[in-house]
Amino acid sequence: MRIFLTGGTGFIGSHFLQHALANGHDVFALRRPGSATRIPLLRQPHWLDGALTDDWGDILSDCDSFLHLASSGVVLNSNNWIECFQINVMDSLQLLQQSISAGLKRFVIVGSCFEYGHSGERYAAIPVSAPLEPTTAYGASKAAATMAALALASEYQLNMVVVRPFHVYGDGEASQRFWPTLVSAAMSGNDLRMTSGSQVRDFQPVTDVVQQLLSWLQNSQLKPGKPVLVNLGTGRPQSLLDFARQEWERLGAKGEILPGALEHRHDEVWRYVPMVGTSIHVPFSPANCNDYT
């Protein structure tokens, strides 16, 4: 399979490249000039240096599928409204339209659990049909991008799935995030300063996520004009503190975990736990739910 990939030097994108190339797929990976992958690759893709808004029509016309991972605001600038909406909505939409003009029909679009926002606090497990109540520019722009992609799929009869990953961690993750901070403290023998840790999350290794992304790219049950929404998670919720203790013990850390040493964010969402194992065709209706597991 020939895959056109955006966000190939990002955290998830780097791991996807490793996995897809190891499984014999041909990947054309878009990157900003000078950017590098978060992990060393055993093989290199066909690198495309440029921007989402450049003309990639000739290459897109030679590909079988499109995986869209590029995004602004994942770690930094999550409340830069102009940048998030420009890149995540307008620039991404322009590239999707290029892809459609080039004849591509199979798309996997990576959204975000942060599209749900405060809606997540009302569910033991968030269904994909839950209201979208994002709390940041990043979450709002990803929600808008999802709606645009689904509408394009319906209008142009595309085979499309929009996946919303929940709390992915692993090697190459941005150093500002929780798991790398924990690993750094454990490896250096320092204490881990954290919030109370009462937030409930669904943590999943990045290696599991990229396997699911490749599986969706190959999924034969996608139907033209009937886009699918799906949550990516484990279905095993745990508190941030329990996750920290689990990883602290696994790493043989010598320091102490100090819950309550840091303040919570003002816009903290206390529960992000997905309903997994089912997908839903758009428009949302119980009659349209489909289990693809």
- Delimit the domains of the chain by residue range: 2-169+203-233+273-290
Antiparallel, parallel or unpaired: β 26-31 and 2-6: parallel
User: Could you tell me the pLDDT band of residue 278, with boundaries at 50, 70 and 90?
Assistant: low
The phi and psi torsions of 49 (rounded to 5 degrees) equal -90, 120
**Residue pair 106/65 in contact by the 8 Å Cβ criterion:** yes
Identify the CA nearest to 146 among candidates 3, 24, 282. Answer: 282
CATH for 2-169+203-233+273-290, options being 3.30.70.930, 3.40.50.150, 3.40.50.720, 1.10.10.10: 3.40.50.720
pTM value is 0.93
The phi and psi torsions of 98 (rounded to 5 degrees) equal -60, -45
d(CA 56, CA 47): 12
| Element spanning 92, H or E | helix 92-101
Residue 289's pLDDT is 35
pLDDT at residue 134 greater than cutoff 50: yes
d(CA 55, CA 61): 12
**Residue pair 198/240 in contact by the 8 Å Cβ criterion:** yes
Alpha helices, H only, 189-228: 206-217
Identify the CA nearest to 115 among candidates 87, 146, 84. Answer: 146
What do you get for the CA distance between the two ends of the chain, in Å? 22
DSSP state of 49: E
Residue-wise pLDDT for 62-112, tens only, equals 999 999 999 999 988 888 999 999 999 999 999 999 999 999 999 999 999
Helices 11-22, 206-217: axis angle to 10 degrees equals 60
